[in-house]
Structure 1
Amino acid sequence: MTYPGQPPNDPRHDPDGWSQAPYGRPYDPYAQGTPHPAGPYPQAHPYASAPGTQPYGAGYPGMDPWAPFGRDPITGLPFSDKSKVVAGLLQIFLGSLGVGRFYLGDFQTGGIQLGLTVIGWITAIFFVGFLVLLGVGIWALIDGIMMLTGSVRDKNGLPLRP
């Protein structure tokens, strides 16, 4: 199958060898000379890891490719892809199961909260189980409030985005 403006399947007109590919050349509407709507893509970036590679968002003007969610105005660190509102609300309502910490990627603290909750429910037949559940509930509430205020960071040490 040929597309408008595509040369015939002749090895002399196909230097890349796409005519021998099992399904032919993949369709690229911008290969026919139509300019890309975002403008020309820059060919090099000073922090590119390999020649010809571009970081996320490098072709868009005004966007920091190393901080796609913005930067913290105080520290200058890039914001995490995790939201502090989502993390805080998950921790307040489901924090005894460690859901807010699991959302942030902190599996150790989330696992401890979940484990203490399970131990609390198992030992609830004794009075000590209710004390464990109360302690985990208070811990989850304070942890959720700290997440909402922005004093908790994600697994990479980045501040949570607003």
Structure 2
Amino acid sequence: MSAKEKVAAGFVIFRRFGKEIQYLLLQTSYGQHHWTPPKGHVDPGESELQTALRETEEEAGLKQEDFIMYRNFQRTLNYEVQGKPKRVVYWLSELKDPNTPIKLSDEHIDFKWLNLALALNYVEKYKDFQQVLNEAESFIKSNL
């Protein structure tokens, strides 16, 4: 990681609701109120996975025991934010109980559980994250 590169980490969280696979997206309370999975910046001395776990609990109220992590599904996105490089690492995880409540932090104003088609629509400005969602769906259907 270069001194100028920002690094963040989070989870693409899904649940099985009946026969439907649904993804958790949170709507930010800042900027253009975009939709994103739970994620956040890596703190000094913290691993990317520790960050993903901490941020998921802070932003959505989900603890590690609430979901199953699939460490063999990891995706890294590299892009620029305000002219500075940013790297975001995502792991896939499945909510154990589809009725587990989401408890939003003040960083977000809403959340939705969305099937793939709707989730892709909500993140349409972020083609690289759309690809992550498509790959997650394929992984789930092929392996889980």
TM-score, normalised to structure 2, is: 0.21
- The higher-RCO structure (CA 8 Å, 6+ apart) is 2
More strand per residue: 1 or 2? Answer: 2
More helix per residue: 1 or 2? Answer: 1
TM-score, normalised to structure 1, is: 0.19
